[in-house]
Amino acid sequence: MSESDTAGDTEESPLEQIAAGVTMALIFLVAFGLLALDFAWFWVVFPVGFGGVLPAVIGLVRYYEQAAERDERDAADDTDDPLETLKRQYACGEIDEAEFERRLDGLLGSDSAAETAVDEPTPEPADRETARE
């Protein structure tokens, strides 16, 4: 694996950097606070904080970011073109060929009806009067 391959995997988001910074500051604050209070086991805060709390915070931040990206993708999928959604369902095997053809005819039939309504010119007022007679 080259350096360029691993560089993309280790890039931290701004949220990760902020969460890591705040967590490290709290670990130092607690550890040195216990040292100032003359607590003999103050050093336990370092392995627990840096070995347990910090990785847990980074993991939670990454999980949150992935969930947010997944929600954005799902929202984008909901606004897809109906024809694209139909093609994707057929390609994934969610619907069979007969169902695909039926839905495709329904989609294309509704599109062609809308197109013909738009293509027909509206009659002029004089033409409307002759049509009434």
Residue with more model confidence, 131 or 27: 27
Q: Give the DSSP H or E segment for 11.
A: none
DSSP string, 34-99: HHHTT-TTGGGHHHHIIIIIHHHHHHHHHHHHHHHHHHHHHHHHHTS-HHHHHHHHHHHTSS-HHH
DSSP state of 120: S
pLDDT in tens, 61-78: 999 999 998 888 877 666
Residue with more model confidence, 10 or 126: 10
pLDDT reading at 42 higher than 90 = yes
pLDDT of residue 9: 59
Closest to 82 in 3D by CA, of 115, 45, 112, 107: 107
pLDDT in tens, 77-95: 666 678 888 888 888 888 8
Tokens of 3: 């350096």
Q: pLDDT band at residue 122, thresholds of 50, 70 and 90?
A: low
